């Protein structure tokens, strides 16, 4: 009998333009906690999506063997039936429904044709006890904190008699206490015979909890380390993850003295109109000419919200206090159009959702924010547009047959470059990049870093929002760390360390000096 609960053999998964997984072999022993690590875009989430049936059988090559049997999952429900439960970074709960309904949604306790609500509540309470969450099961999800919601997700998985629990960065948005709770819960579940696969970037956690550590890089398994045999150090993991010296990935930039302050935020406070909660608390921030300033922090720290509130406030927040200065002038923008006029540009976090018009071609996208530059009277000059877009295509090395190619058909890296080209055409003096290298391959990352260096050397200023510590350390001159809507620290690139950033990023915002 095999002591492996799961064996994934030679899994290969391709997307247009990228090989996300390349002959990946991944084995999980029964009853262990198996950590899966790797940089963003290394293929961890893709591998888990293959396992859970999000990418159905047939869209990848290779074999999945669960409990000794070959599986062909065509849908998530197929893998759920086999006792696999996956908990994503973005939680899949219904905020308006109570906890007990969320736990049993899709798995309702029936009494003939109707749902037995009383039994549901009783069962929900039992499961909540098991995960150590002391809340009334009739409370609505929206009234719970992020850490509690994570536990509800796990409770939901347990209600389905889960044998293999997959957690995708479960502690990414949690503070230290909640993280510790969650890790303890995983240990308890292990005692009860539940096998867990955990994707995480937090090496300290991994070292403390993992029985086995598998490192992925660029879609390949680098190694599988047995942590029960010997103690694995964080340094060892980093070495396998990165596979090269940091200097290699982050190009050097000419030592420039940053110039005068071009952008400043004073006591910037923002309230979300719908939840009536203050989401940004008195943020103070300065950016100099020719400087790359990073905004580090965990998911949900309020960095994207900050960028949106500055850049024309599309979500319609209430700016409850504070001032914004651009080149010494006090400004406030009611629409991105005004921000663009004043020389700001914002490359969004999710290029597919709100960065690019995917059904249009490269030139349409690139010219969009600054069409006025191509206007001859009423008419958009298409000749100039083609010439201009082709120049950007060549200078940024956007790999597309022509500027007439639909953006949606390009790979992630080339989409990101198109997104950058579009904002460069608008000739901004302050460029906000929100997770500029998320989900793109190493080569394209390097090209984007090189471009960023060139831009600041030409006198542009960049605010880079990034959750990748190495990227923050490698690229920025100075960095601010955000947590729960507050700036919890400011460091120069020379003095900053990963541990320091992590500590500040997990600090509770309230009462910390900005």
Partner 1 sequence: MKTERVKPMVQTESLGSEVKALLLGNIRDYAMYIALVVIFVIFTVATKGLFLSSRNLINLVNQTGYVAVLAIGMTLILIIKHIDLSVGFVAGFTGAIAAILLMKGWNVWLVIPTVLACGVLVGVYQGFLVTKIKVPAFVTTLAGMFIFRGLLSLVTAGTGTIIVRNRTFLQLSNGYIPDLPWGAHFDFHLLTLLIGIFLVVATIYTQAKSRRTLQRYNFKTTSSVIFVTKLVSLAALIMATTWIMASYRGLPWTAVIVTIVLVIYNFILTKTRFGRHIYAIGGNTEAAELSGIKVNQVTFLVFASMGLLAALAGILYTSRLASATPTAGVGFELDAIASSYIGGVSVSGGVGRVTNTIIGALVIMSLTNGMNLLGVDISFQYVVKGLIFVLAVAFDVTTGNRR
Residue nearer to partner 1 on the CB measure, 129 or 354: 354
Does position 114 bind partner 1 by CB under 8 A?
no
Of residues 330-369, which lie at the interface with partner 1 (CB under 8 A)? 335-337, 339-340, 346, 348, 353-360, 364, 367-369
Task: Check residue 379 for interaction with partner 1 (CB under 8 A).
Answer: yes
**Quick one: residue 117, left, alpha or beta (phi over 0 = left, psi -120 to 50 = alpha)?**
alpha
Closest distance to partner 1 from the beta carbon of 336 (Å): 5
CB of 370 to partner 1, least distance (A): 8
Q: How far is the CB of 364 from partner 1 (least distance, A)?
A: 7
Q: Residue 340 carries which DSSP code?
A: H
What's the token pair of residue 3? Answer: 């002591």
Q: Give least dist CB 475 to partner 1, A.
A: 23
- Residue closer to partner 1 by CB (options 10, 402) is 402
C-alpha 486/C-alpha 171 separation (Å) is 19
CB 461 within 8 A of CB 289: yes
Give Cα separations from 317 to 282, 374, 486 (angstroms). 15, 33, 16
The residue whose two tokens read 């995917």 is 358
Is 15 near partner 1 (CB under 8 A)? no
Ordered alpha helix ranges (H), 253-381: 303-310, 336-341, 362-367
Q: State yes or no: residue 372 binds partner 1 (CB under 8 A).
A: yes
Q: Does 135 bind partner 1 (CB under 8 A)?
A: no
CA-CA distance, 277 to 460, in Å (whole number)?
34
Q: What Cα–Cα distance (Å) separates residue 296 from each residue in 72, 187, 267, 502, 503?
A: 41, 30, 19, 9, 11
* Closer to partner 1 by Cβ: residue 153 or 435: 435
* Residues binding partner 1: number (CB under 8 A): 35
Cβ-based burial of 4 (10 A; exposed 0-12, middle 13-18, buried ≥19): middle
Fill in the per-residue mask, 288 to 317: x = in contact with partner 1 (CB under 8 A), - = not in contact. Answer: -----------------------xx-x---
Cβ of residue 326: shortest distance to partner 1, in angstroms?
16
Per the DSSP assignment, residues forming a β-bridge with 271 are: 278, 318
| Closest CB 353 distance from partner 1, rounded Å | 7
For residues 381 to 410, the per-residue mask of contacts with partner 1, x marking binding by CB under 8 A and - elsewhere, is -xx--x---x-----------x-x------
Q: Please, are residues 57 and 74 in contact by the beta-carbon 8 Å criterion?
A: yes
Residue 376 Cβ vs partner 1, minimum distance, rounded to whole Å: 10
- Tell me, residue by residue from 419 to 448, as one string, x for binding to partner 1 by CB under 8 A and - for no binding: ---x--------------------------
Task: Give the residue with the Cβ less far from partner 1, 172 or 324.
Answer: 324
Burial of 121 (0-12, 13-18, 19+ CB in 10 A): buried
Read off the DSSP letter of residue 382. H
Q: How far is the CB of 54 from partner 1 (least distance, A)?
A: 19
CA-only gyration radius of the chain, Å: 24
Hey, is 81 helix, strand or coil?
A: helix
> Which residue of 110, 122, 246, 380 would you call a contact of partner 1, by CB under 8 A?
380
Q: Kindly report the number of other CB atoms within 10 A of residue 341's CB atom.
A: 12
C-alpha closest to that of 195 among 180, 210, 174, 207:
210
Nearest residue (CB) to partner 1, 184 versus 332: 332
Of 88 and 425, CB closest to partner 1: 425
- Which of 92, 223, 246, 375 contacts partner 1 by CB under 8 A? 375
DSSP code for 408: G
* Identity of the residue, 122 or 380, whose beta carbon is nearer to partner 1 in the bound complex: 380
Instruction: State yes or no: residue 2 binds partner 1 (CB under 8 A).
Output: no
Three-state SS at 42:
coil
- List residues near partner 1 by CB under 8 A: 311-312, 314, 335-337, 339-340, 346, 348, 353-360, 364, 367-369, 371-372, 375, 378-380, 382-383, 386, 390, 402, 404, 422
């Amino acid at each position: 009998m095999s002591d492996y609960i799961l064996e994934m053999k030679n899994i290969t998964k391709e997307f247009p333009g990228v090989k996300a997984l390349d002959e990946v072999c991944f084995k999980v022993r029964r009853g262990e906690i198996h950590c899966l690590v790797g940089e963003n875009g290394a293929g961890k989430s893709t591998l888990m999506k293959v396992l859970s049936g999000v990418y159905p059988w047939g869209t990848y090559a290779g074999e999945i063997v669960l409990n000794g049997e070959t599986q062909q999952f065509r849908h998530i429900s197929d893998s759920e039936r086999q006792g696999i439960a996956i908990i994503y970074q973005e939680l899949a709960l219904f905020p308006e429904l109570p906890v007990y309904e969320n736990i049993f949604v899709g798995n309702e306790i029936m009494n003939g044709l109707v749902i037995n609500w009383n039994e549901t509540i009783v069962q929900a309470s039992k499961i909540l006890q098991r995960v150590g969450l002391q809340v009334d099961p009739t409370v609505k999800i929206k009234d719970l904190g992020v850490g509690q919601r994570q536990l509800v997700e796990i409770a939901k998985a347990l209600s389905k008699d889960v044998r293999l629990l997959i957690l995708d960065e479960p502690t990414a948005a949690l503070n230290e206490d909640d993280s510790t709770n969650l890790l303890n819960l995983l240990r308890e579940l292990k005692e009860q015979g539940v096998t867990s696969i955990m994707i995480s970037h937090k090496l300290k956690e991994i070292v403390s909890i993992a029985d086995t550590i598998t490192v992925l890089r660029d879609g390949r398994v680098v190694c599988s380390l047995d942590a029960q045999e010997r103690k694995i150090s964080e340094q060892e993991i980093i070495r396998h993850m990165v596979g090269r010296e940091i200097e290699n990935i982050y190009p050097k930039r000419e030592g420039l003295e940053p110039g005068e302050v071009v952008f400043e935020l004073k006591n910037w406070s923002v309230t979300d109109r719908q939840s009536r909660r203050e989401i940004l608390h008195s943020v103070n921030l300065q950016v100099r000419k020719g400087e790359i300033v990073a905004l580090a922090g965990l998911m949900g720290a309020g960095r994207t919200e900050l960028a949106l509130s500055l850049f024309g406030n599309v979500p319609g927040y209430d700016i409850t206090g504070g001032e914004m200065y651009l080149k010494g002038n006090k400004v406030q923008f009611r629409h991105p159009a005004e921000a663009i006029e004043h020389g700001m540009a914002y490359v969004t976090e999710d290029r597919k959702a709100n960065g690019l018009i995917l059904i249009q071609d490269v030139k349409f996208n690139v010219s969009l924010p600054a069409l006025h530059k191509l206007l001859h009277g009423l008419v958009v000059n298409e000749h100039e547009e083609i010439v201009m877009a082709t120049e950007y295509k060549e200078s940024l090395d956007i790999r597309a047959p022509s500027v007439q190619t639909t953006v949606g058909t390009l790979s992630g890296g080339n989409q990101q470059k198109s997104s950058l080209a579009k904002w460069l055409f608008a000739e901004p003096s302050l460029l906000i990049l929100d997770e500029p290298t998320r989900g793109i391959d190493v080569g394209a990352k390097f090209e984007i870093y090189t471009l960023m260096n060139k831009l600041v050397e030409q006198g542009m200023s960049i605010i880079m929002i990034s959750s990748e510590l190495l990227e923050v350390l490698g690229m920025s001159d100075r960095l601010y760390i955000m947590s729960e809507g507050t700036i919890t620290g400011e460091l120069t690139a020379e003095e900053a360390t990963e541990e320091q950033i992590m500590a500040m990023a997990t600090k509770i915002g309230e009462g910390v000096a900005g």
